[in-house]
Amino acid sequence: MIRTRFAPSPTGLIHLGNIRPALFNYFFAKKNNGQFILRFDDTDIERSKDEYAKIIEQDLNWLGIKPDLIVRQSERVAKYDEARDKLIKMGRLYPCYETADELDRRRARARALGRPPIYDRAALSLTKEEKEKYEKEGRRPHWRFKLDGRAIIFHDLVRGEQVVNTASMSDPVLIREDGSYLYTLPSVVDDIDLAISHIIRGEDHVSNSGVQVEIFEALGGKVPIFAHHNLLTDIEGRGLSKRLGSLSISSLKNEGYEPIAIAIMASLSGTSEPIEPMENLGQLAQKFEFSIISRGPARYDESELNSLNARILHDLPYESVKNRLEKLGLKGEKLWLALRENLQKFQDISEWAKLIYGPVKPIISEKDREFINIAAKNLPPEPFDDNSWKKWISILQEKTNRKGRELFLPLRLALTGREDGPELKSLLPLIGRKECLARLS
């Protein structure tokens, strides 16, 4: 079975860039009748917050992403301990007692001598007595994974054949001095235990793959298939920051964007597919193929999101927004059809509805006063329908010889107090004859 996972660390709000791999993983799983797992990488006890985990779940649910399973690494430590003990027994995980300052000095010395600043594995030469001495001094070891130092070759579904040479890397630290785990070991253990078939993530993780492949193999697990996609940046090419709240899903939701607009922008930016309105995630998932992902940058353009959001609203049928309208105290299909073409965001409809229900301050210039008086006298009788506007305009053209902007603009200003807005032929029946006369006079 196809099984994918989205593995955020609940240390802040997720943003548009984080949602990109979440959507790709979700699309690929659902398109192949597989399973999508939400895994919280919360081994960083100090920075991980339950409140962030809850918000992440809410944000995914708002977007329409429904996980088949939710797991938390903080509840799976026993499995990591088991893997740790196995690697120590194999001689692949070894204790190191250097302080951060000592490691910095070694790296600086290596650079000065023209050598790559990778760890020299000095800890492997420590005697039992030396280790005991460090322990008595109060030092606690961090633990490194001993790399094979070879070329790891794998086929990436986005980038093609990839070669990561672990010989040019430092043995990675998997366990901190306090005994807590860094990201790498728990991630591999979970991917094995949860039978993850595909790891779909940002291209900034390509170099990590070599280390992870070696750990997969050391633990006897099946190596998943990798797919590393381009990253979403802002229009200037800068990365998005979770901790700064840049374009967080929560803030975009509060600003009034449609969830499908966010999903389209996050997933189709930086692909060969056009940014265009769609009805739901299912339709968007059918568009997803690894072949559409560009090797170039994926840049988020706010103006493009605004345009897309507006186009989506303009196409929404009344039944899909009926409940949302009622929460704003508005109702009626005619109202929705009359106003939707002018919306950038859904909540804008409250402002546009004032053209119908008021308050409206009519604008009537001295030069148009006589024309507006004639318009009031010739306003068709009720009931108003879709043809009332056309009849009224025809009468006024004949009586005043006005046409075009000279005819329409004074009527719009008198009836709505604005130069722009929805078509008056749609507004007229909603405003009603009595209120139209009041505004004209």
pLDDT in tens, 152-167: 999 999 999 999 999 9
Q: How confident is the model at residue 336 (pLDDT cuts 50, 70, 90)?
A: very high
Lowest-confidence region among 97-106, 208-217, 359-368: 97-106
- 285-308 tens-digit pLDDT: 999 999 999 998 899 999 999 999
- 37-94 tens-digit pLDDT: 999 999 888 889 999 999 999 999 999 999 999 999 999 999 999 999 999 999 999 9
* 385 against 185, higher pLDDT: 185
Q: Is the pLDDT of residue 411 over 80?
A: yes
Count of the separate structural domains present in the chain: 3
86 domain residue, yes or no: yes
* Residue 368 DSSP class: G
Domain boundary among 285, 315, 345: 315
Classify residue 295 as left (phi > 0), alpha (psi -120 to 50) or beta. alpha
Separation of CA 423 from chain center: 35
Joined together, the tokens standing for residue 320 give: 């899909």
Report, as an integer, the average pLDDT of 220-234. 95
Phi, psi of 114 (to 5 degrees): 80, 20
Joined together, the tokens standing for residue 274 give: 């056009």
Q: For position 179, what pLDDT does the model report? A: 93
332 and 281 in one domain?
no
377 and 351 in one domain?
no
Q: For position 113, what pLDDT does the model report? A: 86
110 domain residue, yes or no: no
- 419-435 tens-digit pLDDT: 999 999 999 999 999 99
**Interatomic CA distance for residues 193 and 168, integer angstroms:** 29
181 and 32 in one domain?
yes
136 domain residue, yes or no: no
Q: How confident is the model at residue 367 (pLDDT cuts 50, 70, 90)?
A: very high
Q: For position 281, what pLDDT does the model report? A: 95
CA atoms within 13 A on the CB side of 24: 32
333 domain residue, yes or no: yes
* CATH code for position 394: 1.10.10.350
193 and 75 in one domain?
yes
CB atoms under 10 Å from CB of 303, counted, come to 8
Joined together, the tokens standing for residue 4 give: 């994918």
Q: For position 290, what pLDDT does the model report? A: 97
**Interatomic CA distance for residues 383 and 77, integer angstroms:** 72
**Interatomic CA distance for residues 76 and 301, integer angstroms:** 40
Q: How confident is the model at residue 241 (pLDDT cuts 50, 70, 90)?
A: low
Q: Is the pLDDT of residue 214 over 70?
A: yes
379 domain residue, yes or no: yes
292 and 347 in one domain?
no
pTM: 0.91
Report, as an integer, the average pLDDT of 372-388. 94
199 and 156 in one domain?
yes
339 and 309 in one domain?
no
Which stretch of DSSP H or E encloses residue 337?
Answer: helix 333-339
Over the chain, what is the mean pLDDT?
95
- Where do we find the tokens 């009720």? 382
Q: Is the pLDDT of residue 242 over 60?
A: no
* 243 against 363, higher pLDDT: 363
Q: How confident is the model at residue 386 (pLDDT cuts 50, 70, 90)?
A: confident
Q: Which domain holds residue 333?
A: 318-357
164 and 230 in one domain?
yes
**Interatomic CA distance for residues 396 and 430, integer angstroms:** 21
Q: How confident is the model at residue 244 (pLDDT cuts 50, 70, 90)?
A: low
301 and 231 in one domain?
yes
Q: Which residues pair with 319 in a beta bridge?
A: none
Q: What is the amino acid identity at position 430?
A: L
- 122-142 tens-digit pLDDT: 999 999 999 999 999 999 999
Q: How confident is the model at residue 245 (pLDDT cuts 50, 70, 90)?
A: low
Q: Is the pLDDT of residue 115 over 90?
A: no
- 165-203 tens-digit pLDDT: 999 999 999 999 999 999 999 999 999 999 999 999 999
121 domain residue, yes or no: no
Q: What is the dihedral of CA 239, 244, 249, 251, to 10 degrees?
A: -130
Q: For position 237, what pLDDT does the model report? A: 80
- 14-34 tens-digit pLDDT: 999 999 999 999 999 999 999
> Angle 74-77-79 (CA atoms, 0-180°, nearest 5)?
135
131 domain residue, yes or no: no
327 and 215 in one domain?
no
128 domain residue, yes or no: no
267 and 408 in one domain?
no
The burial of 147, by beta-carbon neighbours within 10 Å (0-12 exposed, 13-18 middle, 19 or more buried), is given as buried
Buried b (16+ CB within 10 A) or exposed e, 3-21: bbbbbbbbbbbbbbbbbbb
* CATH code for position 67: 3.40.50.620
250 and 377 in one domain?
no
